Amino acid sequence: MLRVGIIGLGDIAHIHVPLINKSEKVKLVAICDIDESKRDFVKDVNFYTNYEEMVEKENLDIVHVCLPHYLHYPVTKFLVENNVHVLQEKPLTLDYKEALKAIELSKNTDAKIAVCFQNRRNASVIKLLEMVASEDYGKVKGVKGLVAWARPKAYYEDKCWRGTWKYAGGGAMINQSIHTLDIMQLVGKNIISVTGSTSQLLDYEIEVEDTVVANIEFENDVKGFYMATNANVVNDSVEIKVYLEKAELTIRNSKLYITDDKHDELELIEDATLGGPKSYYGASHEIIFEEFYDAVINDTDDYVTVEDAAVSIKMIDAIHISSKEKRKVKMEEV
């Protein structure tokens, strides 16, 4: 049985811990957070405030990294250099320059690094990508991604790193809608250029964007439109729509629909959901975790790799550059 640790006991750790404990392939043996008050976050598990000490003492096989964005790369680097496999929460890194370092790191270590893009394993996304690849309804003409969520001022005040460039690397894109960008690029494939605009609609005195809109040009003349905001009244359903030559495929409210000349709108498949206030996380973390545990046990590469996760970081950087310089940005410029 693999020995597992967690570094960072924030909100997302409440998803990780039960799923680790549920797995028959691993055992949670250590947790780490700088906050001593979280010592009892998990009963009967060794607690550390220093992750280097935890790695030195616990003989860990895998560590789940659930830290603020700015710590993802340096902590992952330390872990793999000490021969520990890493399952890291999104985003991969703060920016694409750091992502290139992560790619180089992954190529020069025997330790595996997986990134938690759990929405890739949603039933709706799997089915959508299968239908796109089949070309039964023709080729892709375009893809649209919409994220209209709400974040109160307290969200940023509670964890002040969230609203900063130095520690978060951005706002609505890297924090709330990176999964949407990731799925869009899986549909559209290679990106040629982006034209985007970021802004702050909320009077929160944060450094980063709360709203963004962008056009994305993919290969084969596929067009993308993307919009995300934290200025909505509620966390509305994420919507991803793929325009094919003979149909439209839409993911909305955790369901995949098809619209073609035979149907107004037909439901095809529904995702498993978490329920509760964090339902927007989706329920595919368990698939991602088990997939990575199997990859470590069987020495395979069947997981979301650093290279996979770097694409969305590059998209985010390109949109930021486009907004700042008010021009179209080709991807090779990033």
- What's the CATH number where 258 sits? 3.30.360.10
Average pLDDT of the segment spanning 275-304: 86
Question: In terms of domains, do 8 and 128 share one?
Answer: no
Residues 141 and 272 in one domain: yes
Across 257-270, average pLDDT = 91
Q: Give percent helix, percent strand, percent coil of the chain, each to the nearest 5.
A: 40, 30, 30
Q: Report yes or no on 181 lying in a domain.
A: yes
Domain boundary among 87, 117, 147: 117
> Quick one: pLDDT at residue 276?
53
| CATH number, domain with residue 37 | 3.40.50.720
Tokens read off for 163: 């609203």
The answer on 131 and 100 residing in a single domain is no
d(C-alpha 66, C-alpha 88), whole Å: 7
Instruction: Determine phi and psi for 29, rounding to 5 degrees.
Output: -115, -15
How far the first Cα of the chain sits from its last, in Å, is: 42
Mean pLDDT across the chain: 96
Domain around 19: 2-117
Give strand pairing partners of 64. Answer: 6, 87
pLDDT of amino acid 148: 98
Mean pLDDT for 315-333 is: 98
Comparing C-alpha atoms, which of 190, 186, 191 is closest to residue 128? 186
| DSSP for residue 265 | E
- Contact between 207 and 175 under an 8 Å Cβ cutoff? The reply is no
Do 131 and 230 fall into the same domain? yes
The interaxial angle of helices 178-188 and 123-134, nearest 10 deg, is 20
Which tens digits make up the pLDDT trace of 86-129? 999 999 999 999 999 999 999 999 999 999 999 999 999 999 99
CA gap 272, 161 in Å, rounded: 31
Q: How far is CA 90 from the centre of its chain?
A: 4
Q: Which residue from 226, 206, 230, 242 is spatially nearest to 316, judged by alpha carbons?
A: 226
Answer positive or negative: Cα dihedral of 272, 277, 281, 286: negative
CB atoms within 10 A of CB 90: 21
Q: Which pLDDT belongs to residue 279? A: 53
For residues 111 and 152, membership in a common domain is answered with no
What is the model's pTM? 0.96
Maximal CA-CA distance, the chain: 63
- Tokens 């997939």, located at residue: 291
Q: Looking at residues 142-158, what average pLDDT do you find?
A: 97
DSSP conformation class of 257 = E
Residue pLDDT, tens place only, 221-230: 999 999 999 9
Strand partners, 258: 249, 266
pLDDT > 70 fraction of the chain, expressed in percent and rounded: 97
Q: What is the DSSP string of 21-77?
A: HH-SSEEEEEEE-S-GGGTTSSTTSEEES-HHHHHHHH--SEEEE---GGGHHHHHH
87 Cβ partners below 8 Å, 6+ apart? 62, 63, 64, 65, 114, 116, 288, 289, 292
Confidence check: pLDDT of 46 > 70: yes
What's the gap between Cα 171 and its chain centre? 13
**272 in any annotated domain:** yes
Within a domain: residue 293? Answer: no
Report yes or no on 185 lying in a domain: yes
User: Is the domain of 102 the same as that of 227?
Assistant: no
Residue type, position 54, single letter: M
Tokens representing 204?
Answer: 């929160």
Nearest to 20 by CA among 285, 281, 279, 283: 285
- 127 and 113 in one domain? no
* HSE, side-chain direction, 13 A CA sphere, residue 65: 29
Looking at the structure of the chain, the number of domains it has is: 2
